Amino acid sequence: MTMPRRESGVLCHITSLPSPYGIGDLGPGAYAFTDFLAASRQKIWQILPLNPTDLASDNSPYHSCSAFAFNPLLISPDLLIEDGLLAWSDVVSVPDFAKERVEFDKVIPFKKKILSVAYDRFKERSDTQEFENFCAEHSFWLDDYALFVTLKSGFQGLSWNKWPPEIKRRHTAALKGAQTRYHDEVQRELFHQYIFWKQWRRLKCYCDGKGIQIMGDMPIYVVHDSSDLWTRPELFQLDGNGRPSVVAGVPPDYFSQTGQLWGNPLYRWDRMKKTRFDWWISRVAHNLSLYDWVRIDHFRGFVGYWEIPAKEKTAVNGRWVKAPALDFFNALKKRFQTLPLIAEDLGIITPDVKEIMSLFGFPGMKVLLFAFGDDNPDHPYLPHTYEKNCIAYTGTHDNNTVKGWFQMEAKPEERKRFFQYIGRTATDDDVHWEFVKLGAVSEANNFIVPVQDILGLGEEARMNRPATKQGNWRWRLRPDMLTSNLAEKLAGITDASGRV
């Protein structure tokens, strides 16, 4: 499905928004950011996945115990106060959180504490019809998720495949017994999901009113120790003990000489096909109910995936395996009137991937930071080569910032090619705007800029370093950063490039 119109937007994850509670949330900071987008004449707000995260995985939004559930850390205490589920006195003793970094080890216990207070107040209410409606509508994933996280806590964090056999294999009597035994804990998890959904729906409505579309992000793979695997293990390549026999990753590339060993279990596409891809159709429908557009991370995995034996320590010794892309996307096309999906097609992309993208009209991605690595005048990431049906980026959450690249990574010949391309030199103070202008005037229907590149921030503001496991996903905006002057400048570039 071709992206409509000629528009632009900003990439900023919810965790990066300003908030006095140590992490960005769905409260005032999100509404202020929406207002900034509107003032700067942007039409798209791109975010990262909203699924639950945990300290064990460095709180990566791409590593979650559920492909469907929401992250309770993003619930706004301010909106809970508005709803009467918290009092101001409940948040008086807020820890002294850092303003420019998320300190997850401090944020998590604080949020758990105030959400516990909110739940206790919610239990006192008699009108719970909206909550009950939410639970009924989302029961296809919600009930299993709530029980999963409750049991995982009860089993001291053990992976589901190490639980008692009757629970691990989901015997009906054992599950009913667990539901009864942990009734209040399960209800608490249902409440967290309901509150997030309620706050998200309110924010989405506000964005709609401002003419802002939200682009969500859906990782192609799920995590082994997840509600998804516990619920539908037959859909994944597991051994007799419920452990992955082969895992996902990518071969050596721009980001890593040994590739990336993600470790996610791989799908049993043969069984997916026999079920008419019902799990995937439910997942896509769920995401399309939340967002206007959905970016699929590692899109090429639907066409062919890098299969790595589970015993390997790096991703080098893998192999490409075909996946039933045509059958899968035809099933989606039959189910949905439109498929507003975006293919993350970076890295090693073969002709069969491009063929599927073209057949179904999925726009791909073009990253300006990749444009100046060689002297090919028709390098596929140079702006003059972009087709209309693509999304141009200065960089993504996996890249350095433009200024960080310019200062720390760009080789002399890359800088030279960049200067030759724009026909002048640039300095640390304006290089990010030169990149913004390049992307804005390109033929790409849509152009997205990470908020760090609008602000001209350096390497310290980078969101993620692929193939590293510590210190990512922490960067945050200060409340004073998004000024009216900044909005005016971005609006001017947007107007001049015909993206209004």
Q: One of 7, 143, 217, 297 is an active-site residue; which one?
A: 297
Q: Are the beta carbons of 12 and 23 closer than 8 angstroms?
A: no
DSSP per residue, 232-294: -GGGB-B-TTS-BSEEEEE-S-SS-TT-EEEEEEPB-HHHHHHTTTHHHHHHHHHHHTT-SEE
Distance CA 191, CA 284 (A): 23
Sequence-separated (6 or more) residues with CB below 8 Å from residue 322 = 303, 304
Q: One of 54, 398, 414, 434 is an active-site residue; which one?
A: 398
* β partners of residue 30: none
- The pTM of the full predicted model, rounded to 2 decimals, is 0.97
The verdict on whether 83 is a catalytic residue reads: no
Angle at 367 between CA 316 and CA 4, to 5 degrees: 125
Q: List C-alpha distances in Å: 145 to 57, 115, 174, 307, 352.
A: 19, 18, 16, 28, 36
* Digit-coded pLDDT (tens) for 349-386: 899 999 999 999 999 999 999 999 988 888 999 999 99
Q: Are the beta carbons of 115 and 193 closer than 8 angstroms?
A: no
Q: List C-alpha distances in Å: 453 to 56, 173, 394, 462.
A: 29, 55, 8, 10
Angle at 449 between CA 446 and CA 451, to 5 degrees: 145
The confidence score (pLDDT) of residue 253 equals 77
Q: List C-alpha distances in Å: 12 to 90, 217, 475.
A: 29, 12, 10
How far out from the chain centre does Cα 470 lie? 18
The confidence score (pLDDT) of residue 348 equals 79
The verdict on whether 100 is a catalytic residue reads: no
The confidence score (pLDDT) of residue 1 equals 58
**Residue 365 tokens, joined:** 């991605």
**Residue 57 tokens, joined:** 């995985």
The confidence score (pLDDT) of residue 132 equals 98
The tens place of each residue's pLDDT in the chain, 500 residues long, gives 555 689 999 999 999 999 999 999 999 999 999 999 999 999 999 999 999 999 999 999 999 999 999 999 999 999 999 999 999 999 988 999 999 999 999 999 999 999 999 999 999 999 999 999 999 999 999 999 999 999 999 999 999 999 999 999 999 999 999 999 999 999 999 999 999 999 999 999 999 999 999 999 999 999 999 999 999 999 999 999 999 999 999 998 776 889 989 999 999 999 999 999 999 999 999 999 999 999 999 999 999 999 999 999 999 999 999 999 999 999 999 999 999 999 999 987 899 999 999 999 999 999 999 999 988 888 999 999 999 999 999 999 999 999 999 999 999 999 999 999 999 999 999 999 999 999 999 999 999 999 999 999 999 999 999 878 899 999 999 999 999 999 999 999 999 999 98
The confidence score (pLDDT) of residue 257 equals 87
Q: One of 144, 225, 344, 414 is an active-site residue; which one?
A: 344
